[in-house]
Amino acid sequence: MNDPSNAPIDIGAISAPEALAHALELTHDSAARYAQLQACLEAHHNQIAAEVLARVVELTLATASSMPGLKPPEQLPRIAPWELLWRCPDLLAMRLGDSAPTACNHQIGAAELLRLVLKRERCAQDCYTHARAQVMAPATQQMLTSIAMRQQEQIARLEALLASAEADASEQSPTLSDLDPPNRPE
C-alpha cells in the first residue's frame, strides 16, 4: 500500500474544506458502489453477502457523517470526478474509466467479500495519510488527521466483521451449492 501511485497529486495547498469534500466524495462513492454490489448479490440470491454489504454501507455512511467539521454539502467545494486528487487503483476505478477489480462474483462468501472491502478502505486510509504528510496548512493537516482517524475506526469495525465472518465460515459446511443455478426448461 505504500505505492507512490496511491499518493495524492499536487495537494500541498489544499484547504481543509477541500480535503473534507474530497474525503466525503470518496466515502459516498464507496457507499454507492457497495450498495450497487449489494443489489447485484441480492439479485443472484446471495443473501449472506448482501447482508454483509448492507452492514458495510451502514458503516461507511456512519463514517461519512462523523467526519470532523462536517458542513452542509452546499458549503463545501464541488469536486468533479476527474478533479479528485487521489489516484488509488482500488478507488473510483470504474468512474475514472479504468477496469474495475474483478475478484468479486455472485457466489462470493462473506469473509472474501470483507477482505476486498478492507483492501479498498485501507487504500483510502493510505491516501489520507499521504495527503496529511504533503499539506502545508495546519488546519488541513488537522482535518486530514481526523479523517484518517475516522477511516481507521471504520477499518477496525470491518476487521471485527471479518473475524466474525471467518468464525462463521469455519463452522459451516465447506461446500456451497450454486446460489444462482441456471434456468432449465422443465
> What number of other Cβ atoms are within 10 A of residue 11's Cβ?
22
pLDDT value at 118 more than 80: yes
**Mean predicted lDDT score pLDDT of the chain:** 78
Residue 15 vs residues 46, 69, 132, 145: alpha-carbon distances, Å: 43, 13, 11, 13
Domain boundaries in the chain? 13-170
What's domain 13-170's architecture?
Up-down Bundle (1.20)
What pLDDT, on a 0 to 100 scale, did the predictor assign at position 8? 45
pTM, two decimals, is 0.74
d(CA 56, CA 50): 10
